Amino acid sequence: MEYEQCVLFSLFRHHLSVLALVLTGLGASMAHADEDLPVSSSLRSEVGDVTVEGANKTQSSTVRSFGQVDVGDPVDSEELEKVERRLLATGLFQDVRVSTEPMPDGRVRLVLRVKDKASWVVAPTVALSSANTGGGLLYAENNLGGRAKKFVVAAQVSTGESGLYVGFLDPILFGLPQLKFSLEGQLKSDRVDEYSMDPSEDDPEVLRRTRFNSASLSAELGFILFERVRAAAKYRLSSIDAKTPDPKMPVTTPPFSTGPAMRDTSLRLMVGLDTRQTLYAVTEGLNLEASYEVSTPDVWSEFDYRKFGLLYRHGIRFFEENNLVLRGELILGTDLPFQQELVMGGTTLRGFQYRQFRGDSRLTFTAEYHFPLFKVKSLAFRGVAFSDTGAVAWKDVPEDGILRDANGRVIRNYLRETITGQNPVTVAQGVGGGLRLYLNNVVLPLLGVDVAYAVNSGQVRFYLVAGVTPS
């Protein structure tokens, strides 16, 4: 049995996930709002004025921007409910009440009553496993200047991944909820282990261990149309510097040339449908996305590769507080360099070693069922049952096992043990359950424990999520 403690905010493996989880809003209250929403009338009335009450930090203009209803717009009971859900889904407020009041001229005054949440958190991060031991600290501000701008800075020192991450997100660029802008920077020293592709091994052997350093900067501009259609363009600039592999491992040949640092630059385009909202720690709605990422000299890169992806995410509410969360993703890559290869294992495939499996094509599916257990004052305990399934393969490997760029430089030296085997596709599954502890003003868990059983190998691994301090 192997014990693993996964990082609450995965600083470097999924830095986009940090923005998605921390920067989009630190959550919603676990205490339910009154289900009886205020109703002005069954007829649509014209808004003559919009007022904001109860906001201590959030600017009134920001509240109105998220409400997306202004003077002259018609409203009815259905529209009032939509406004309330929009405001709750921002993660800025513990409670929201939306109502109307009659005005002398026959129009109505739209009243937005909100209660601000604590806007920042400090979160220690811990990693403890055979692949990565260490920890760090994260600070996130969710409401800069009362204008819903997000900022996060995180540092970690560990045997596997060390570095610094900084991110900024403006979800209502120029006061428009249809425009989003993010900026991210990262310095990282990463130790990458390569294993065989056999998922039935109890304790997979490290065949090659390589450390490389990187620095990256990326910016993304997103557009939202009709509250559902999303499109975004992201430009990323990074520098990759590989070191000589660990001489104590069986393979000492570098995975790619260890000469001068190489520039890895890419442009990623995304379009999709997104109706998801997170209300009181329960996610509802559907997300479908298609993406295309290209790295060529045309975008100022020294590499030449492409990725095509399809993403499916779906949150379904049952019995008020029960939540089924589904996630499926397909990614196909061409001529991927070592640092861009697709991996599975650890937090992305619970029950297996971190980044145990690699390839240039990957299909994953995760199902989680979250359910309430009990509450103690402001603390809520929730359980989760999950199943992680993944398939990874190499579809585009040169016959000699060496991938070169246009100048003849080696950008990938494959290990035969990782690209050959009894099956051309590696399929693995992990199942298990866990516990989450929530505060009524923070959606991220203060404490979480997952127990995962690897179906292929029979191994059991424990994952501990710990250490969020609301302020």
Residue 27 lies in a domain: no
Domain shared by 62 and 11, yes or no: no
Give yes or no for a contact between 375 and 436, defined as CB atoms under 8 angstroms apart: no
Domain shared by 132 and 109, yes or no: no
pLDDT at residue number 27:
37
Looking at residues 429-441, what average pLDDT do you find? Answer: 88
Q: Give residue 420's pLDDT band: very low, low, confident or very high (50, 70, 90).
A: low
pLDDT at residue 277 tops 80: yes
Domain shared by 161 and 71, yes or no: no
Q: Which of 116, 132, 152 is the last residue of a domain?
A: 116
Q: What is the mean pLDDT of the chain?
A: 85
Of 95-109, 183-197, 247-261, minimum mean pLDDT range: 247-261
Domain shared by 268 and 341, yes or no: yes
Residue 63 lies in a domain: yes
CA distances from 136 to 59, 128, 154, 184, 406 (A): 33, 12, 7, 18, 40
Write out the H or E segment, with its range, that includes residue 1: none
What single letter denotes the amino acid at residue 116? Answer: D
Domain shared by 440 and 385, yes or no: yes
Residue 35 lies in a domain: no
pLDDT at residue 13 tops 90: no
Domain shared by 276 and 411, yes or no: yes
Q: Which of 41, 51, 33, 106 is nearest to 75 (CA)?
A: 41
pLDDT at residue number 65:
94
Percent of the chain with pLDDT over 90: 59
Q: Which residue has the higher pLDDT, 82 or 259?
A: 82
- The pair of structure tokens assigned to 304 is 């030449």
Looking at residues 406-434, what average pLDDT do you find? Answer: 82
Q: What is the DSSP string of 359-409?
A: ESEEEEEEEEEEEEEEEETTEEEEEEEEEEEEEEE-----TTSEEE-TTS-
Looking at residues 11-16, what average pLDDT do you find? Answer: 37
pLDDT digits (tens, 9 = 90+) for 298-356: 999 999 999 999 999 999 999 989 999 999 999 999 999 999 999 999 888 999 988 89
Residue 29 lies in a domain: no
Question: Phi and psi (nearest 5°) for 405?
Answer: -90, -175
pLDDT at residue 417 tops 80: no
CA distances from 393 to 25, 330, 334, 420, 454 (A): 36, 12, 12, 10, 19
Q: How many domains does the chain have?
A: 2
pLDDT at residue number 404:
85
Q: Give residue 12's pLDDT band: very low, low, confident or very high (50, 70, 90).
A: very low
Give yes or no for a contact between 457 and 195, defined as CB atoms under 8 angstroms apart: no
Q: What is the C-alpha to C-alpha distance for residues 425 and 330, in angstroms, rounded to an integer? A: 14
Looking at residues 400-410, what average pLDDT do you find? Answer: 82
Burial 423-449 (b: 16+ CB within 10 A, else e): eeebebbbbbebbbbbbbbbbbbbbbb
CA 46 to chain centre: 39
Q: Give residue 36's pLDDT band: very low, low, confident or very high (50, 70, 90).
A: very low
Of 30-39, 83-92, 302-311, minimum mean pLDDT range: 30-39
Domain shared by 69 and 160, yes or no: no
Residue 34 lies in a domain: no
- The pair of structure tokens assigned to 86 is 């929009």
Domain shared by 49 and 127, yes or no: no
Q: Could you give the residue ranges of the DSSP H alpha helices within 366-465?
A: 416-419
pLDDT digits (tens, 9 = 90+) for 107-152: 999 999 999 888 888 878 777 666 777 888 989 898 999 999 999 9
Torsion sign, CA atoms 122, 449, 195, 308: negative
Mode of pairing for the β-strands spanning 2-3 and 460-466: parallel
Looking at residues 190-206, what average pLDDT do you find? Answer: 89
Residue 31 lies in a domain: no
Burial 400-409 (b: 16+ CB within 10 A, else e): eeebbbeeee
Domain shared by 67 and 216, yes or no: no
Domain that holds residue 132: 2-15+118-470
What single letter denotes the amino acid at residue 349? Answer: L
Q: What is the C-alpha to C-alpha distance for residues 427 and 389, in angstroms, rounded to an integer? A: 8
Residue 37 lies in a domain: no
pLDDT at residue number 3:
44
- Which CATH number do you get for residue 412? 2.40.160.50
Residue 38 lies in a domain: no
pLDDT at residue number 444:
60
pLDDT at residue 24 tops 90: no
Cβ neighbours of 336 (radius 10 Å) = 24
Looking at residues 289-302, what average pLDDT do you find? Answer: 96
Interacting residues of 341 by C-beta distance below 8 A, sequence separation 6+: 333, 358, 359, 360
Domain shared by 255 and 325, yes or no: yes
pLDDT at residue 244 tops 80: yes
